Amino acid sequence: MLFVFVAIASISFSQKINLNLFLGTSNYEGDLQSYFFTFTQPGLAIGGGLSYQVSDRFFIRTGITFASVSADDKKNPKVYYRNLNFKSSIQEFHLAAEYYLFNLEDIKFSPYFFAGVAVYHFNPYTKDTAGTTYYLQPLSTEGQGFYLNRKPYSLTQFAIPFGGGIKYALTDNIKIGIEVGMRKLFTDYLDDVSTTYVDPNLLLANRGAKAVELAFRGGELKTGATYPTGNLKRGESKNKDWYYFTGITLSYRFPAKGEFKGGWDKPGSRKKYILGCPRR
């Protein structure tokens, strides 16, 4: 589907369309990883998309990103006693506006900023002591669906992507860059941790022994810790989760039919030639 759109776009819009690729790391901030921005416990992020040049410095872009996020209480001294951990793949589609401080047709580099809207899918999971994988949302580890009107969280949600970077023009048609993109989420359950523990007997009756086992894993540390009772805090529900990407971008501008492919006619000059005539 993407390749069909690229083919049509390259014929219809010519040099206004760019093909964009992204490769980098993904990470998250939440109840298992409290640092707002860090490179610890990173995952892989890879993406691609298209952008349309509205003006010299303003673009509309869209793209798909595939990434993974994870965290482990063992690496967080503040909450190591819970011994929780999770992993999740993320599939995201975004639409955003992109603005450059300088015109890359006049100089070789420019900072830029972007903001927009995104739809993403996630599904947190963990492994028990036997190495068996369990997806956490169906286990209702905090009583979602049967306790205190806590509703099950949706695995597909909206986000607000924003960020920026620096892009450098290698040629008229090829640009490389570095980008940092944040995602403001509207859920606190990217990591399946948000509020308080639910009574273990109630959780056992509604979701089974495995839900109780994975809702609190401090007993695995052999410290004598037992399942917390009395509606004790499990996470911080006031702070929603985030995820973010950091990496390298590569952009290719589809040249217009008949465009001169020699790049700059003189060192430091960005004048392009179409059918042998300089652009005015």
Q: What is the DSSP letter of 31?
A: S
Tokens 């700059």 sit at which residue?
A: 264
Residue 147 has pLDDT above 60, yes or no: yes
- Helix (H, G, I), strand (E, B), or coil: what is residue 5? helix
Q: For residue 272, what pLDDT is reported?
A: 46
Residue 99 is part of a domain; what is its CATH number? 2.40.160.20
Amino acid making up residue 142: E
In a domain, 222, yes or no: no
Measured CA to CA, the distance from residue 165 to residue 262 in angstroms comes to 27
pLDDT recorded at residue 274: 39
Distance (Å, rounded) from C-alpha 150 to C-alpha 218?
24
Residue 115 structural domain: 2-128+153-189+241-278
Mean pLDDT of the chain: 89
Q: Is residue 90 part of a domain?
A: yes
Give residue 15's pLDDT: 67
User: Is 37 inside a domain boundary?
Assistant: yes
Identify whether 266 is part of a domain.
Answer: yes
Residue position matching structure tokens 């990173």 = 42
Question: Is 199 domain-assigned?
Answer: no
Query: 3-state DSSP call for residue 87?
Result: strand
Asked if residue 133 has pLDDT above 70, the reply is yes
Please write the tens of the pLDDT for every residue from 230-239.
789 999 999 9
User: How many CA atoms lie less than 13 Å away from 254 in the CB half-sphere?
Assistant: 21
94-115 pLDDT, tens digit per residue, is: 999 999 999 998 999 999 999 9
Cβ-Cβ contacts under 8 Å for 148 (sequence gap 6 or more) = none
Into how many domains does the chain fold?
1
Q: Model-level pTM?
A: 0.85
pLDDT tens digits along 162-214: 999 999 999 999 999 999 999 999 999 999 999 999 999 999 999 999 999 99
